[in-house]
């Protein structure tokens, strides 16, 4: 399944007030694996950024003055996102701007070019009700380094969001989701062994310590007890009053 993690930076917060997109970053996932086939544009928005927006992204009018205008990149963007499921954090904001830009060019809405939308902010609120669910907060929660994120940038934020999405949706597969597993047919590697010849070797102290460390890591990832810890150490029954 092809998915595109997308983020934009804009001149302000409301396209109806004439604000425009000035940066788009896209990261491609195929079957939940990063492909490296990413897409990134700086765009001349043909207007100044509002002060609050400029403080967020730091992209000045001078820097953007020689960049392509949206109409010059729209065909490449349409081809890239065609039919894909698009993943966005706070999707109504980005989609509002993208649909507005497409409308200015008399094109069908951005949402008509794609196969669906996943809003990670909605997902995060369902998983973590009552907690902060900004991209920075989710990076902290899932152990994703964002120390290099001094200002908002569309491609950087899309890369971080891709990591957050994979962590948020993989559950306890988080320790090995990004590693391709080789499927091995054990029967092809071992000669049949009679049951009487099987030797059971107890785990060493180092192996037991490594096992305990792995379980502790899983407990930390789920903010409580993972299913293995709970099975090995069930809570004591409460005494009746």
Q: Which of 57, 89, 152, 211 is catalytic?
A: 152
Residues 76-83: contacts with CB under 8 Å, at least 24 apart: 76/39, 77/24, 77/39, 77/41, 78/107, 78/113, 80/4, 80/26, 80/39, 81/4, 81/6, 81/26, 81/110, 81/113, 81/114, 82/113, 82/114, 83/2, 83/113, 83/114, 83/115
Q: Is 152 a catalytic residue?
A: yes
Q: Which of 157, 164, 119, 139 is nearest to 10 (CA)?
A: 157
Catalytic residues: 152
């Amino acid at each position: 399944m092809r998915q595109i993690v997308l983020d934009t930076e804009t001149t302000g917060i409301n396209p109806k007030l004439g604000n425009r997109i000035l940066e788009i970053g896209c990261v491609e996932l195929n079957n939940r694996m990063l492909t490296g086939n990413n897409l990134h544009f700086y765009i001349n928005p043909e207007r100044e950024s509002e002060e609050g927006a400029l403080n967020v992204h730091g992209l000045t009018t001078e820097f953007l003055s020689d960049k392509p205008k949206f109409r010059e990149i729209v065909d490449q963007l349409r081809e890239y996102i065609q039919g894909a499921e698009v993943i966005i954090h706070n999707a109504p904001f980005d989609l509002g701007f993208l649909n507005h830009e497409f409308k200015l060019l008399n094109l069908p809405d951005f949402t008509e070019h794609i196969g669906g939308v996943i809003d990670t902010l909605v997902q995060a609120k369902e998983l973590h009700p009552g907690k902060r669910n900004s991209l920075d907060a989710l990076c902290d929660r899932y152990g994703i380094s964002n120390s290099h994120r001094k200002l908002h940038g569309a491609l950087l934020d899309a890369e971080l969001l891709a990591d957050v999405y994979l962590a948020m949706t993989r559950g306890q597969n988080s320790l090995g989701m990004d590693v391709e597993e080789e499927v091995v047919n054990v029967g092809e590697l071992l000669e049949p062994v009679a049951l009487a010849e099987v030797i059971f070797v107890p785990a060493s102290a180092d192996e037991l310590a490594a096992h305990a460390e792995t379980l502790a890591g899983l407990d930390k990832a789920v903010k409580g007890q993972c299913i293995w810890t709970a099975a090995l150490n069930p809570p004591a029954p409460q005494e009746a009053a």
